[in-house]
Amino acid sequence: MISYELIGITVLWIFLYGYLIVASIDFGAGFFAFYARATKQDHLINRLISRYLSPVWEITNVFFVFFFVGMVGFFPDSAYYYGSALLVPGSIAIILLAIRGSFYAFENYGSKDNTTYLFLYGATGLLIPASLSVALTLSEGGFITEQDGVVALAYFELFSSPLSWSIVALAIVSVLFISASFLTFYASRARDLPALKLLRTYAMFWSTPTIIAALTAFIYLSQHNERHFQNMMDLWWLLALSVGFYMCALWHLYHARRYGLAFVCVMLQFLCAFFAYGIGHYPYILDPYITIQGGATHESMGIALVIAFIGGLCLLIPSLILVFKLFLFDADYVKGRK
């Protein structure tokens, strides 16, 4: 029988994967909007990007809020350890999120041509995933110390660790690859050929750094946490599927066809890799302090949370589908007619 702890962490991992995809599109779109402005190509793609961001930028963090609240609810010890260790990195991420939201509003509802606002919006799109990726690094162990009941983050070990920087690099290039792949598909739906050509170039370009960064992070993981690495090797078929979906997406992008299928392959690529990483981490949430069974809340509370979060997932996904159907994939809206 599957325990409520496993159901709970699975639901939370699904929420985190949803945030990975939706937020990556949003973060990358902001960066591409600024980069296009800086290279005098904003007339090609920025209207398209603005049409995407307008209806979804406010709901991007819903997945993250669900995950954060669920993590603290299911595994109370995570608030104690991560809350103390991530005080500085977490505060930086929150400040960046606030800056991002504020300057998006300034750029879209205030001064339309202010490059500074757009720069801040684009820069935070890369800095936020970089700061949030620190949590994945910490979960591998060796960066958090506990002495006399005081939890502290070993900053020197963190900043001098190749694993830490490889995960940061992977987070940044993954954001750009996912976003460019989706925006390429979005441009094809809008039949905006100039934007399609440019965004397809971005997607093709960032595909290579993504696979290189993933391989690099995998190598450094084997050196830092051999147990996690071996567990992931036992899930070789998930990793093989991830590479297969990556090659399929690249093939469609290269031949300039079926951009929707290419983006689905990108989603499946990250789905397989993300769950291989998560399953390989079992039974630890924070190595060696928190395990899934040992750190879980009381059973009755856990079951209630499982029911609540599954219900939330069943409400959230149809709501997002409705938003996409009404705005993003509406024929007139995509083409800028309304």
Q: Which helix or strand (DSSP H or E) is residue 214 part of?
A: helix 193-224
User: Quick one: DSSP state of residue 111?
Assistant: -
Residue 265 φ then ψ, to 5°: -65, -35
CA angle, residues 74, 312, 80, in degrees to nearest 5: 25
Q: Are 225 and 287 in contact (CB under 8 A)?
A: yes
Cα–Cα distances in Å, from 279 out to 97, 219, 302? 29, 18, 20
Q: What is this structure's pTM?
A: 0.92
Q: pLDDT at position 26, please?
A: 87
Amino acid at the residue 142 = G
Pull the structure tokens for residue 41. Answer: 């190509």
Q: pLDDT at position 179, please?
A: 94
Q: By three-state DSSP, how is residue 296 classified?
A: coil
| Backbone Cα Rg of the chain | 20
Range of the domain at 23: 4-334
The alpha carbon of 324 is separated from its chain's Cα centroid by a whole number of angstroms, namely: 19
Residue 260 φ then ψ, to 5°: -65, -45
Q: pLDDT at position 336, please?
A: 56
Q: pLDDT at position 334, please?
A: 57
Cα–Cα distances in Å, from 208 out to 64, 154, 310, 325, 338? 28, 32, 36, 32, 36
To the nearest 10°, the Cα dihedral for 85, 89, 91, 92? 170
Cβ neighbours of residue 151 under 8 Å, at least 6 residues apart?
80, 81, 84, 85, 144, 145
**Angle between helices 4-38 and 42-56 in degrees, nearest 10:** 150
Cβ neighbours of residue 285 under 8 Å, at least 6 residues apart?
9, 75, 78, 139, 291, 292, 295
Total domains present in the chain: 1
Chunked mean pLDDT (size 10), the chain, 338 residues: 78 90 89 88 79 68 82 84 80 83 65 72 88 90 82 87 95 96 89 89 95 95 93 94 96 91 96 95 87 81 84 82 72 56
